[in-house]
Amino acid sequence: MSHSLDPIAAQLGLGPDDLIPYGRKLAKVSREILDRPATGKGRLILVTALTPTPAGEGKTTTSIGLTQALHRLGHKAIAALREPSLGPCFGVKGGGTGGGKSKLEPSPEINLHCTGDLHAITAANNLLSALIDAHIHFRKTPRIDPRKVVWRRVVDVNDRALRSMVTGLAGQGLASETGFDITAASEVMAILALAESEDDLRARLARIIVAFDEDRNPVTAEDLKAVGAMMALLRDALDPNLVQTTEGAPALVHAGPFANIAHGCSSVIGTRMSKHMADWVITEAGFGADLGAEKFMHIKCRQTGLRPDGVVVVATIRALKMHGGVGMKELTEPNPEAVAKGMANLNRHLDSIGRYGFTPVVAINRFHADTDAELDVVVKLCAERGIQAVPSTHFADGGAGAEALAHAVIKQVTEGPAPRFNLLYADEDPIPAKIKAVVQQVYGGADVVLEGKAKLQLGRIKRLGLGHLPICMSKTQNSVSDNPKLRGAPEGFTVTVRELLISAGAGFIVALAGDLVRMPGLGRVPQAVNVDLVDGEIQGVG
């Protein structure tokens, strides 16, 4: 790893004038480079995974390891990844920059503040909330019905006490029920991730619906004259961030929506910039293929015309054992039978990737306790489907441990059948039909039920003429169903949608399913208690 970004930038044809330094190890990359002729072939590889378990899967680590392996093999490769949120960093998961010898550097700085993008999003979101309250207080036109404000504040830490609250008490304004979401769930985050340009960012912010007036008409951020100030706060956040891996391969990190409460993909600008500069672009979508990959296809690809050239599905023997019924304490004991049983979950995700038109490569993120017999189960059962499964030791060995995976990806993309990209529902399909298509073809479920509030909101969506928007499912990441206790590959289940939220600026409808909340809470022993500053060095993060 270089201590300077200059050689990393030089790999991509970038000079000093293309970078906006944030110290010695972080830099913004100017969007002006997109106005130049492309210098890369821009093959885009999507990395997704089976359903997460507490045993861990290592999707980000695999993405970085694959990028390093391609780099070692002489290819011009770059990772295009999301920015970590402070929520997981201080919660259960810890850092979001990979692990072992396949990490982004400087890891602590990226995990905590990076270049301040998430703070800018938080500020822009909450400035809009303050403008709404001032608009109501001074009874400006359009006259907002205080009971119909739908915009919520955000903060980038897990704080369950803020999920539901009353503001405006003690004579400080009109009392109203509201609450906080985590910043990753903010529509501003989704907008930043999906915006194609500064003009597109402005147009999307203007379309945000914040409330409804006394005649049930929508009130937007543009109506409140909020867009200019929000643009000012987000000016620098619109540029992707250049960092490097432990082996000196380049990476762009930009935007950080969660895949269980948002669309879970890194920014469109970062993806386009990476394709512009590199021959191979490795990107990831959050959680399992039922969440991030589904939204990558149905939201990011649908809105932008981007298409992946290949898909990698990450699995671990440990996770397969858990889906096969093994508890955490027994995961290190050899159990090929449980691995075979847990393959039902992996197969569910391979089926959905196939429906989008792709033959994926399975990356088996190998742990030290995995046995050859267990690995052989996965390789054999995948081969029976015509899918190559490749054990990879990138956590322990860096890029060298992922070279076999890199060769498999190259072969699949350059020699395999060309993908026949396919979406599972059309724009003109009714909202319930779109949800049902995802539930049946991606989750493997049977049906969908809309609760009373969701039915009322569906009527509002139809009245506003927004039924053409895609669906952003918001559900548990711990199961392909909306019940986090159902591991493996459950069948015959019904998904219950309790709310349908309009994200007009982002360009999708959020379907809240099950008991998922948009503001996580800290656990009994949060990761935050392990974080410290010792002799000027951050410890316990990444």
Domain boundary among 215, 233, 251: 233
Q: For residue range 15-61, what is the model confidence (pLDDT) as tens digits?
A: 999 999 999 899 999 999 999 999 999 999 999 999 999 877 899 99
User: Counting beta carbons within 10 angstroms of the beta carbon of residue 33, is it exposed (0 to 12), middle (13 to 18) or buried (19 or more)?
Assistant: middle
Calculate mean pLDDT across residues 313-340. 96
317 membership: H or E segment, kind and range: helix 317-323
Judge whether 468 lies within some domain.
yes
Cα dihedral sign, 120-126-132-133: negative
Mind listing the pLDDT tens digit for each residue in 369-380? Answer: 999 999 999 999
Residues 6+ apart with CB under 8 A from 498: 451, 453, 454, 512, 513, 514
- Per-residue pLDDT tens for 107-142? 999 999 999 999 999 999 999 999 999 999 999 999
Residue 397 lies in a domain: no
Task: Average the pLDDT over 339-346 and give the result.
Answer: 98
What CATH number is associated with residue 184?
Answer: 3.30.1510.10
Domain termination residue (choose one: 179, 211, 233): 233
In percent, the amount of the chain with pLDDT more than 70 equals 99
Residue 123 counted as domain residue: yes
CB neighbour class for 173 (10 Å; exposed up to 12, middle 13-18, buried from 19): middle
Question: In the predicted model, what is the mean pLDDT of the chain?
Answer: 95
Quote the CA–CA distance of 8 and 293 in Å, as a whole number: 29
Residue 297 has pLDDT above 70, yes or no: yes
Residue 174 located in a structural domain? yes
Confidence of residue 1 (pLDDT cuts 50, 70, 90): low
Helix and strand numbers (H, E) in the chain are 18, 25
Give the pLDDT confidence score for residue 517 in this predicted structure. 87
Residue with tokens 């509201």: 178
Position 171 scores a pLDDT of: 64
Q: How many domains does the chain have?
A: 2
Residues 251/243, Cβ–Cβ less than 8 Å: yes
Q: Which of 212, 233, 254 is the last residue of a domain?
A: 233
Instruction: Tell me the per-residue pLDDT of 232-246, one tens digit each, with 9 for 90 and over.
Output: 999 999 999 999 999
Kindly report whether the global pTM for this prediction surpasses the value 0.85.
yes
Q: How far is CA 231 from CA 1, 21, 132, 250, 317, in A?
A: 35, 21, 17, 28, 46
Distance of CA 270 to the CA centre of its chain: 13
Domain of 151 in residue numbering reads as 119-233
**What is the pLDDT confidence band of residue 174, given thresholds at 50, 70 and 90?**
confident
- Give the confidence band of 408 by pLDDT, cuts at 50, 70, 90: very high
Q: Which of 161, 107, 119, 153 is nearest to 133 (CA)?
A: 153
Q: What is the CATH number of the domain that holds 500?
A: 3.10.410.10
Q: Per residue in 462-496, pLDDT tens?
A: 999 999 999 999 999 999 999 999 999 999 999 99
Per the domain annotation, does 134 fall within a domain?
A: yes
CA gap 503, 193 in Å, rounded = 13
pLDDT band at 81 (very low <50, low <70, confident <90, very high): very high
Spatial distance between the Cα atoms of 453 and 464, rounded to a whole number of angstroms:
17
- Of 256-260, 404-408, 448-452, which range is least confident? 256-260
Pairing of strands 218-220, 389-392: unpaired
Is the residue at 52 inside a domain? no
pLDDT at 173 over 80: no
98 phi/psi in degrees, rounded to 5: 85, -165
Residue 418 in any domain: the answer is: no
Distance CA 141, CA 217 (A): 12
Domain contains 163 = yes
Mean pLDDT across 421-442: 98
Task: Identify the residue whose tokens are 């219950």.
Answer: 496
